[in-house]
Structure 1
Amino acid sequence: MAALPQWMLHSGNQIDGDRWLVEFKTYEEYLDFLVTPTDLKNLRSTHIAQTIAELGYRSAGETLTREQFNTRRERVVEMFNPTRKSHVLCAGRHPDFENVVLQELGTRERANRVGLLATIIFVRALTPAGHEVSGYVDYAHRLNTEDWMPFFQGKKRLWPRPNDLGYYHWRAGISRSNHSPNFKVIIDPERGLLFQNKYDRKVVCVDPSRAPGQNTTREVLKTNDYKQFVVYDHVVRRRS
């Protein structure tokens, strides 16, 4: 059995560690869990005991803020019991892909749809006339703005567009860079092209000679369908 991708390990560890939060329906129930019988006896006030717990005095580890609790609890629920229509998986209807690109994109589809993962795809391909076109694609954004069933049915290829994160048409000399709902484009004088995630503000570096960044992995896919196909998987850490 093939080893799990690093993004799956990071995401899975976080989700598994937060699954216990589902036991609490509200933030107040979570705080009550942290309150001890001794607290109630000495303080004689549930509200004061909850406040002390919220400040972190009744937890051996991290005490979550209300926003952290709601965000992390929601992510666990969405991961294991997705309810929104936008989370219906296109790849789920075609599970046995022989094409490595479809396999890898299908594996990442759900995590990108629910916001656990923000994948950037670098594509180099040739037009029918033999001209090279390349670009950086915000996978989650594309999933939310177009029908991916033709892609996973093998009827359509992923193609870089001028409105993607990055786009370059070599023959025409056209170069574009655009912000997306998930990433901000940054041009750094030393590291070159960077993409900053808008949710956790972590930076993805696409220079292959450098580390891709915190909570980010880089994987090159071997395929004959494209001149080059690289996926940058960024595990999103929501800001508190």
Structure 2
Amino acid sequence: MEDYSVLKYSTYAEYLASFPRTEDHRYLQDVVTIDKLIKLGYHSITTVYDEDEFYRAKLVMESSAAPKVTSITIYSIYLTGDDEVLKALAMREKANVLQEISTIIYMQVRRRNGFDISGYIDYEMSLRQANMRLAGATDWRAIFEGHKLLSPRITDLGFYNWRTGEVFDTSNDNYQVVSHPVYGMYFMHKGDHKIIPVTTKPNPFAENVTRTVFKSPLYDFVVLYDHGVRKKI
């Protein structure tokens, strides 16, 4: 269910502050205690987001509410170097922008703390957010120039923190995230309702996607899942 109310608040603190009433402060002087009770749902029948849920909902609603862009930047024109992953993404960029194909990027990244994160990135959605100049959007120009590295986020289709074991999945206007008891997680494309599997196990949906593995000095192990929406890559 869409919740545009989150757009009224710049920060999670502002969001929480919108719940307490005057009598809350009369009987509970400790603001921290009030916030804890709100998060636990004792204050209202309305669902209260935790901090991660709030920022995820805010990003989704910003994307939904943003005006359509009339000009599109093709970021791969800034490609420098010969990294295989970046070259593969550059080759697919225009087709994703035109929604002729839909590419899901799987990558596993080692953070500075020595622990890994991994995730599934909707390439078209990420490019669209960059073109809309949304807050927190991926800086694709800097990525193609080699100034920044692409990395999965908790707002992507799928995200896993290998240190904490935290798992996040986020459906968007391209994909519905589905958990299957046999094939694990897969994505259903909302445009043509085709199932996009992200497993190497034999499955009846394999023909819906082309799976290509890349290794590079910059990104190590990356898999691109290409789904032909109107024509095959």
Which one of the candidate residues 82, 91, 116 is aligned to 2:100? Answer: 116
The 1:208–1:115 alpha-carbon spacing in structure 2 relative to 1, beyond 3 Å, is same
2:206 counterpart SS class: coil
Residues 192 and 229, structure 2, Cα contact 8 Å, conserved in 1? yes
2:95 counterpart SS class: helix
Q: 2:223 matched to 1:230?
A: yes
Cα distance in 2, alignment partners of residues 119 and 163 from structure 1: 17
Q: TM-score if structure 2 supplies the norm length?
A: 0.62
Query: Once the two structures are aligned, what percentage of the paired residues are identical?
Result: 34
Q: Which residue of 1 aligns with 2:112?
A: 128
Cα distance in 2, alignment partners of residues 181 and 124 from structure 1: 24
Q: Which residue of 2 aligns with 1:173?
A: 165
- Pair member with larger Rg: 1
In structure 1, stretches of 5+ residues that fail to align are: 1-82
Cα distance in 2, alignment partners of residues 225 and 210 from structure 1: 30
Q: Which amino acid aligns with 1:190?
A: V
Aligned residues: 154
- Once the 2 structures are TM-superposed, how far is the Cα of residue 84 of structure 1 from its aligned partner? 4.9
Q: Which residue of 1 aligns with 2:24?
A: none
- Once the 2 structures are TM-superposed, how far is the Cα of residue 144 of structure 1 from its aligned partner? 0.9
Q: Which residue of 2 aligns with 1:143?
A: 127
| Aligned 1:97-108 pairs, distance under 5 A | 97-108=81-92
User: Deviation string for 1:120-169 (max 9, x for gaps)?
Assistant: 01010100111010000001001111231001100111101011100000
Report the aligned-residue RMSD: 1.9
1:85 counterpart SS class: coil
Cα distance in 2, alignment partners of residues 214 and 198 from structure 1: 17
Residues 126 and 226, structure 1, Cα contact 8 Å, conserved in 2? no
Residues 202 and 213, structure 1, Cα contact 8 Å, conserved in 2? no
Cα distance in 2, alignment partners of residues 150 and 225 from structure 1: 14
Q: Which amino acid aligns with 1:223?
A: S
Residues 83 and 217, structure 2, Cα contact 8 Å, conserved in 1? no
| Aligned 1:56-75 pairs, distance under 5 A | none
| Aligned 1:45-64 pairs, distance under 5 A | none
The 1:209–1:97 alpha-carbon spacing in structure 2 relative to 1, beyond 3 Å, is farther
Cα distance in 2, alignment partners of residues 151 and 93 from structure 1: 9
Cα distance in 2, alignment partners of residues 97 and 111 from structure 1: 22
- Once the 2 structures are TM-superposed, how far is the Cα of residue 214 of structure 1 from its aligned partner? 3.2
| Aligned 1:13-52 pairs, distance under 5 A | none
Cα distance in 2, alignment partners of residues 97 and 140 from structure 1: 23
Q: Which residue of 1 aligns with 2:41?
A: none
1:214 counterpart SS class: helix
